[in-house]
Structure 1
Amino acid sequence: MNKLCLFLLTVLLTVMSSPLMAQCSLCTKTAQQLGEGPAKGLNNGILMLAFTPLAIIGLLAFRWWKSNREAS
């Protein structure tokens, strides 16, 4: 359990240490025309929409790993 917590903490610190840009080239061009405030909002919205499916996949992978680990 400690290794899992350490891994999650490392991933979290890595993600939080650098500003994330989740915009494609078309979204970047549109955001530049809107201004800095709306561009940050657009970027945050894209990141939130991407987080949900990744969290679900991570949860399913963790449950699969845990069930296979108990079966061995």
Structure 2
Amino acid sequence: MKVIRYWLAVITFLGVLSMHTEVSAQCAMCTLNAENSVKNGNTQGKGLNNGILYLLAAPYLAVAGVGFLWYKKYRKKNVNLNMKDQKINLN
């Protein structure tokens, strides 16, 4: 069962990576400036788009890194706990 979940996760991850669309994440003022600069022949608008997308990716990568470290540290290990011999103190 674990192998099936693993491969399902891998296939889903690869599927998400293979489906992409071009996005432009800008405020109204930045969009206006970028469109005007592209119309005038400048390439600064494209650089602005790339910079915004780069800054957008940083928080997602940080959260993914923390999630991966959390998963590696706290994942369930095959430990045989025999607690029947110990008293439980609820104080």
Provide TM-score, normalisation by structure 2.
0.60
Instruction: Assess, with a 3 A threshold, how the Cα gap between structure 1 residues 70 and 40 changes in structure 2: closer, same or farther.
Output: same
User: 1:66 Cα deviation (Å)?
Assistant: 4.5
Alpha-carbon distance in structure 1 between the residues aligned to 2:12 and 2:58:
20
List gaps (5 residues or longer) in structure 2: 1-5, 79-91
For 1:70, the equivalent position in structure 2 comes to: 76
Written as runs of structure 1 = structure 2, the 5 A alignment for 1:28-47 is 28-35=31-38, 37-47=43-53
Larger Rg: 2
List gaps (5 residues or longer) in structure 1: none
Aligned length: 70
Q: Please tell me the residue identity of whatever aligns with 1:24.
A: C
Relative to its length, the structure with more helix (as a share) is 1
Runs of 4 or more, structure 1, over 3 Å off, are 65-69
Alpha-carbon distance in structure 2 between the residues aligned to 1:68 and 1:7:
23
Encode CA deviations 1:3-27: one digit per residue, 9 max, x unaligned: 332222122122x2x1111112121
Provide TM-score, normalisation by structure 1.
0.71
RMSD of aligned Cα (Å): 2.2
SS at match of 2:26: coil
Higher relative contact order (CA 8 A, sep 6+): 1
